[in-house]
Amino acid sequence: MPELPEVTTTINGIRPYFQGAVIAGVAIRERRLRWPIRADLEQRLQGRKVIDIQRRAKYIVVILDRGGLLIHLGMTGSFRVVTSQSMPERHDHFDFITDAGVVIRYRDPRRFGSLIYCEEDPYQHERLSKFGVEPLEPDFTGTYLYQMSRTRKLAVKAFIMDQSVVVGVGNIYASESLFKAGIHPRRKCARISMSRYNNLAGEIQNVLTNSINVGGTTIQDFVRIDGRPGYFEQQLSVYGRSGEPCHHCGHAITTRVIAQRSSFFCPQCQT
């Protein structure tokens, strides 16, 4: 499930083929994603130059010579770079074809992803307007989390997954960073001290950075641009480890549903 590290890994994989390219064509086989792909997208993109590929929250932001694209991977979206001879398979919903003849192909079995065309600056698009801070930027601190949480009533796990607070943290990295910080995921976010939030902010940054460095996590669907999996899965402390021993104390890892998402934690190490 693509969270911040998986989006970054995807962007790094696409960039060598996409940045600086001219879009020779777009082939769309399935327009019904999270929102329908607009009918004139092929025509709008034809001949346009790709200036840069960036990230905001879990969106891939493609900067074009004017305007741009917002691409979300949803739950099961991934890109691959293939040759023009490669036949699209089921769930390969669209291709960007560059002037170098490279095909950048999007696959998304569950179709929760999106491809949005922006006439003007994509950073001004409404979809990006409600996002909170970037976790790897300097303004993401324990103080920030502490201040944002004081008046809120939800569990800390739901709080750090709230994209209007901090972006890019999904179910996997929320579970992992709370374990590293020794915080119980069900604890009310307003009842956590400044020093614990300092730890948590640092652990969120550590977990995300470590994952980026090994190409992200592969659980089920996410694959890197070259089709190989990310390797962060081997470093997971709690996610998906229900019943297995905690690496720190040996107690069995517990799973509970918190805010409609399965959550994994050590009941002994996390309080």
Q: Which residues are catalytic?
A: 2-3, 58, 261
Among 15, 31, 34, 248, binds DNA (CB under 7 A): 34
- Per CB under 7 A, does 170 bind DNA? yes
CA distance 198 to 177: 12
- Per CB under 7 A, does 58 bind DNA? yes
Among 5, 68, 74, 215, binds DNA (CB under 7 A): 74
Q: Which stretch binds DNA (CB under 7 A): 18-26, 70-78, 133-141, 230-238?
A: 70-78
- Per CB under 7 A, does 28 bind DNA? no
- Per CB under 7 A, does 234 bind DNA? no
Q: How far is the CB of 10 from DNA (least distance, A)?
A: 13
Residue holding tokens 């001949």?
A: 47
Measured from the CB atom, is 76 or 98 closer to DNA? 76
Q: How far apart are the first and last CA of the chain?
A: 27
Q: Which of residues 116-145 bind DNA (CB under 7 A)?
A: 127, 130
Among 55, 91, 187, 247, binds DNA (CB under 7 A): 91
Among 8, 9, 78, 171, binds DNA (CB under 7 A): 171
Both tokens of residue 52? 């840069």
Q: How far is CA 208 from the centre of its chain?
A: 10
Q: Write the single-letter amino acid at 103.
A: V
Write the CA distances from 187 to 103, 151, 160, 197, 237, integer angstroms: 47, 14, 12, 12, 19
Beta-bridged to residue 262, according to DSSP, are 257
Both tokens of residue 136? 């790897």
Among 48, 72, 80, 224, binds DNA (CB under 7 A): 72
Spatial CB neighbours of 16, under 8 Å, sequence gap ≥ 6 = none
Identify which of 228, 195, 245, 251 has the alpha carbon closest to the alpha carbon of residue 9. Answer: 228
- Per CB under 7 A, does 90 bind DNA? yes
Among 109, 202, 229, 267, binds DNA (CB under 7 A): 109
Identify which of 72, 75, 110 has the alpha carbon closest to the alpha carbon of residue 90. Answer: 110
Q: What is the contact surface with DNA in residues (CB under 7 A)?
A: 1-3, 32, 34, 57-59, 72, 74-76, 90-91, 109-112, 127, 130, 151-155, 158, 161, 163, 170-172, 220, 257, 259-262
